[in-house]
Amino acid sequence: MLKRVSNGIIERLEDVTPAVQRAMSDSGNARLRTVMDAFVRHMHAFAREVNLTEPEYDLAIDFLNRIGQTTNDSHNEAILFADAIGFSTLVCLLNNGNAGATETAAALLGPFWRANSPRTENGGFIVRSPTPGAELFVTCEVVDVRGKPLAGVDVDVWQSSPVGLYENQDDTQADMNLRGKFTTDAAGRFSFRSVKPAGYPVPTDGPVGELLRAQNRHPYRPAHIHFLAFKPGHKTLVTQVFVDDDEHLESDVVFGVTRALVGDYRRHDHGEPPAAGIRAPWYTLNYRFVMEAGEAILPKPPIK
């Protein structure tokens, strides 16, 4: 039986916020009460601070509606919006690396992770259809916070092509091109062959694109490879490793670049290539991931 909470009749502007707080105060879920109380207080304070006009309110409602309408199985405009206002990175840093006190290897998931990437043996290719670009050899190590190698970690890898498109955005790429799932060996290592990713613009044909144009912001992300490391007993590590010579490293449209996540994508012009038939220049990346102890929870894939 729902109780009728008396909010009181609204007599003045100042009555609105406490009336809403009273109406929500009886929620049985304490966390919901805490979150919604703060959300309403801050939203009301925001409207008062900017003196929100009615046309602006209508525009905001239309913006939110179109975020939903633009989202489908292969595109997630809501995540893009959260990313573009730095909210994803803020939440990520709040929840990892001791709430910002220590450096963390965690970064935003982004809108392109797909579940069920093809299982690939260590050292294997994730290039699954012709993808011209500089060869890249990636070797990674996964350790716990004490530096002990972690064996049996499942690691999803996904990246854009050298023209800056994920396979789900590009009909010329095979399904699951530049995606793979690896398992770390007894030394906590996994490795794979790929091509050097390129930076790319986030999709700008929706409401978030309109916002970026209105703010004179470019839509580019610096090139990166995404990683998701999963092992029971450890907090799932979602991260990205950025290409260190990218021109947009310091102006990522979604604020994903932290110091710890700039990789050493080393260019090789001479010497013995790591595999037969490789022409210079090729690149190597060595990176070490640290997994914190915790609960292994997989995020919901943003696209199918």
Q: How far is the CB of 266 from Fe ion (least distance, A)?
A: 21
> Which neighbouring-strand residues pair with 181?
119, 156
Closer of 67 and 202 to Fe ion (Cβ): 202
Per DSSP, the chain holds a count of helices (H) and strands (E) of 6, 12
Least CB distance from residue 59 to Fe ion, whole Å? 29
Select from 283, 186, 165, 294 the least CA-distant residue to 232: 294
Shortest separation between residue 33's beta carbon and Fe ion, angstroms: 36
Taking CB positions, which residue lies at the least distance from Fe ion?
A: 110
3-class DSSP state of 90 = helix
- The least CB distance from residue 72 to Fe ion, in Å, is 18
The Cα angle at residue 70 between residues 165 and 160, in degrees rounded to 5: 10
Q: What CA–CA distance (Å, rounded) separates 256 from 82?
A: 12
- Residue 285, beta-bridge partner list: 138, 265
**Closest approach of Cβ 194 to Fe ion, in Å?**
14
Binding mask 71-110 for Fe ion (x = CB under 5 A): ---------------------------------------x
Please give the residues from 108 up to 127 whose contact with Fe ion meets the rule CB under 5 A: 110
CB 197 within 8 A of CB 243: yes
What's the per-residue H, E or C state across 195-208?
ECCCCEECCCCCHH
Interface pattern 228-247 for Fe ion (x via CB under 5 A): --------------------
The count of residues interacting with Fe ion (CB under 5 A) is 1
Q: Which residues contact 137 (CB under 8 A, 6 or more apart)?
A: 191, 193, 274, 275, 282, 283, 284, 285
In sequence order, the 6+-apart residues with CB closer than 8 A to the CB of 168 are 74, 112, 114, 303
Q: Which is nearer to Fe ion, 123 or 201 (CB)?
A: 201
Query: Minimum distance between the CB of residue 112 and Fe ion, rounded to whole angstroms?
Result: 6
Distances (CA, A) of 169 to 17, 90, 211, 248: 44, 27, 22, 21
Shorter beta-carbon distance to Fe ion: residue 110 or 206? 110
Which single residue is written with the structure tokens 């990683």? 227
Nearer to Fe ion, 201 or 274 (CB): 201
Least distance between Fe ion and beta carbon 208 (Å): 15
Q: Which residues, 6 or more positions from 117, have their beta carbon under 8 angstroms from its beta carbon?
A: 156, 157, 158, 176, 179, 180, 181
| Shortest reach from residue 26's CB to Fe ion, in Å | 43
Nearer CB in complex with Fe ion: 107/290: 107
**Which residues sit at the interface with Fe ion, rule CB under 5 A?**
110
